[in-house]
Amino acid sequence: MKLQLLIVLFLITGTSRAQDQDSVMIKKIFDHTLTQASAYEWLRHLCLSIPPRLSGSEGAQQAVEYTYNELNKIGADSVWLQSVMVPHWERGHEKAILQTSNGSQQPLTITTLGGSVGTSEEGITANVIQVNSFEEFEKLPASSVKGKIVFFNYPMNPTFYNTFQAYGDAVKYRWRGAMVAAQKGAVAVMVRSMTQSNDDHAHTGSMGYVDSITKIPACALSLTAVETLRTILRKDPSLKVTLIMGCKLFPDAQSYNVIADLRGSEKPEEIIIAGGHLDAWDNGQGAHDDGAGCVQSMQVLKTFIELGIKPKRTIRIILFMNEENGLRGGKAYAEYAEMNDNEKHIAAIESDAGGFSPRGFGADGPADKVEKIKSYQPKLEAFGLHDWEKNWGGADINPLKPLGTVVVGLVPDSQRYFDYHHASSDTFDKINKRELELGAASISSLVYLLAEYGF
């Protein structure tokens, strides 16, 4: 009986000591990151010194070279480039003019949707038909749609507290709008920007086509332009809009995922990923989406090295290419991971929800691993990380789920994210240095716990 009691006391003491050590290390990680981080300056360079980083562009290539060099300077054990062929689409000139039946004209702020076909140099001029949902559109006869520009005016639902839920509900109009409208003979489609911000910034994003349906040009209106169009259309149903869109699709281009490792001291074959996507839409600087996630992930490696932390498992930083219009980087890495029998990808963390104040993590994957992730909440909630319920990882890392990898997403405060998402307003000046660094410290702390204890 005494022996059993001693064993129990020994185990309790050992567990308590480990918890104390974890608390000390996590505090060190936060202190160091909030005083010594390079993430903000890296992001400044990505946003202000490199051209827009859309896949296939010169800016994307410069971003690959810059981050590759910076990761080498940090002192990673290895830095390498994974080759990826990516789409090469260019926006070109874009313009929209509203013309009333009495001959007056007014510009409308638009942005071409990513992957859209263009118009002729003269553009497309046609009457506009406004509909508020796909269900409403389905009730219209083709004769009332043929030859017109369809305007899908479906807002993000303001009653959804989680703005990602509101985005997920509305984004189908951006993706499917052109296909749905073309089936009834529309010549172009306009959609309401995926935002709740009443300003004059239009928000782009990927849209879809299928070869069996005529491909028509597609663009998004700013919410200021939406209100202008709605107001005038109500008084003048015969108004017309001219769309001029000079976008073009080119052959696929060579690009790369940027990858850096800090090798594990005890189980180097077990891999823990932290990453974001390096590409960004070309109408802004990609500060929140997703320059923030990239530099936060790079900071993980820098913090570990500067604090002298020797992780038991290998930490791998991945800056994925082509999340925005193809997911080629995430898919290519998952193919590599599946073929590489010498490595076991036990966890992957992605930051792709903006550089705002972190609120927690969401995990998806095998139930036991998800519960292990959630068990770390008491160690981290003192730093504001109290939201551990979101069941989502990230677009680039989700292809790893079939390998048994638990995928984890950093959950920041989402209320302002869609003010800037995919818009020209997603610029460096919208980043708060402390919030960015808090996110980096949060990821670093979870990486530390996963590297220390595994599953």
- Residue 241 has φ and ψ, to the nearest 5°, of -125, 135
d(CA 156, CA 168): 9
Decide which of 246, 269, 294 is a domain's last residue: 246
pLDDT for 14 beyond 90: no
Q: Specify if 396 maps to a domain.
A: yes
Q: Do residues 377 and 406 share a domain?
A: yes
pTM over 0.85: yes
pLDDT for 9 beyond 50: no
- 3-class secondary-structure state, position 79: strand
The whole domain housing 436 covers: 30-89+251-453
Q: Specify if 7 maps to a domain.
A: no
pLDDT for 393 beyond 80: yes
pLDDT for 11 beyond 70: no
Q: Do residues 276 and 169 share a domain?
A: no
H helix runs in 75-119, sequence order: none
pLDDT for 410 beyond 50: yes
Q: Do residues 188 and 276 share a domain?
A: no
Window from 200-204, 267-271, 328-332, 389-393 with minimum mean pLDDT: 389-393
Domain containing 96 — which CATH number? 3.50.30.30
Q: Do residues 231 and 310 share a domain?
A: no
Q: Specify if 18 maps to a domain.
A: no
Q: Specify if 6 maps to a domain.
A: no
pLDDT for 289 beyond 70: yes
User: In this predicted model, what pLDDT tens digit does every residue of 87-102 receive, in sequence order?
Assistant: 999 999 999 999 999 9
pLDDT for 3 beyond 60: no
Decide which of 212, 246, 280 is a domain's last residue: 246
* Mean pLDDT of the region 115-139: 98
Decide which of 192, 225, 246 is a domain's last residue: 246
Q: Specify if 157 maps to a domain.
A: yes
Count of domains forming the chain: 2
Q: Do residues 229 and 363 share a domain?
A: no
Q: Do residues 312 and 351 share a domain?
A: yes
* Mean pLDDT of the region 315-338: 98
Q: Do residues 147 and 201 share a domain?
A: yes
Chain mean position to CA 181:
27
Window from 183-197, 273-287, 380-394 with minimum mean pLDDT: 380-394
Strands of 358-364's sheet in order across: 78-90, 248-262, 313-320, 267-277, 344-350, 406-412, 358-364
pLDDT for 83 beyond 90: yes
* Predicted local confidence at residue 217, as pLDDT: 98
Provide the mean pLDDT of the chain: 95
Buried b (16+ CB within 10 A) or exposed e, 411-441: bbbbebbbbbbbbbbbbbebbeeebbbbbbb
The tokens of 310 are what?
């020797």
Residue 18: which pLDDT band, with cuts at 50, 70 and 90?
A: low
Residue 390: which pLDDT band, with cuts at 50, 70 and 90?
A: confident
* Predicted local confidence at residue 121, as pLDDT: 95
User: In this predicted model, what pLDDT tens digit does every residue of 160-192 receive, in sequence order?
Assistant: 999 999 999 999 999 999 999 999 999 999 999
Q: Specify if 410 maps to a domain.
A: yes
Q: Specify if 72 maps to a domain.
A: yes
User: In this predicted model, what pLDDT tens digit does every residue of 30-82 receive, in sequence order?
Assistant: 999 999 999 999 999 999 999 999 999 999 999 999 999 999 999 999 999 99
CA-nearest of 319, 334, 398 to 363 is 398
In percent, the amount of the chain with pLDDT more than 70 equals: 96
The tokens of 402 are what?
């079939």
* Mean pLDDT of the region 355-374: 96
Q: Tokens 């490792």 correspond to what residue?
A: 261
Q: Specify if 21 maps to a domain.
A: no
Domain containing 434 — which CATH number? 3.40.630.10
Active-site choice (270, 323, 324, 437): 323
Q: Do residues 51 and 81 share a domain?
A: yes
* Predicted local confidence at residue 2, as pLDDT: 59
Asked about 323 being catalytic, the answer comes back as yes
Q: Do residues 71 and 117 share a domain?
A: no
Q: Do residues 286 and 406 share a domain?
A: yes
Window from 105-119, 125-139, 386-400, 403-417 with minimum mean pLDDT: 386-400
User: In this predicted model, what pLDDT tens digit does every residue of 418-450 receive, in sequence order?
Assistant: 999 999 999 999 999 999 999 999 999 999 999
* Predicted local confidence at residue 20, as pLDDT: 86
In percent, the amount of the chain with pLDDT more than 90 equals: 95
* Predicted local confidence at residue 389, as pLDDT: 82
Q: Do residues 279 and 298 share a domain?
A: yes
pLDDT for 21 beyond 50: yes
Burial zone of 267 (CB within 10 Å; 0-12 exposed, 13-18 middle, 19+ buried): middle
User: In this predicted model, what pLDDT tens digit does every residue of 230-260 receive, in sequence order?
Assistant: 999 999 999 999 999 999 999 999 999 999 9
Q: Do residues 35 and 131 share a domain?
A: no
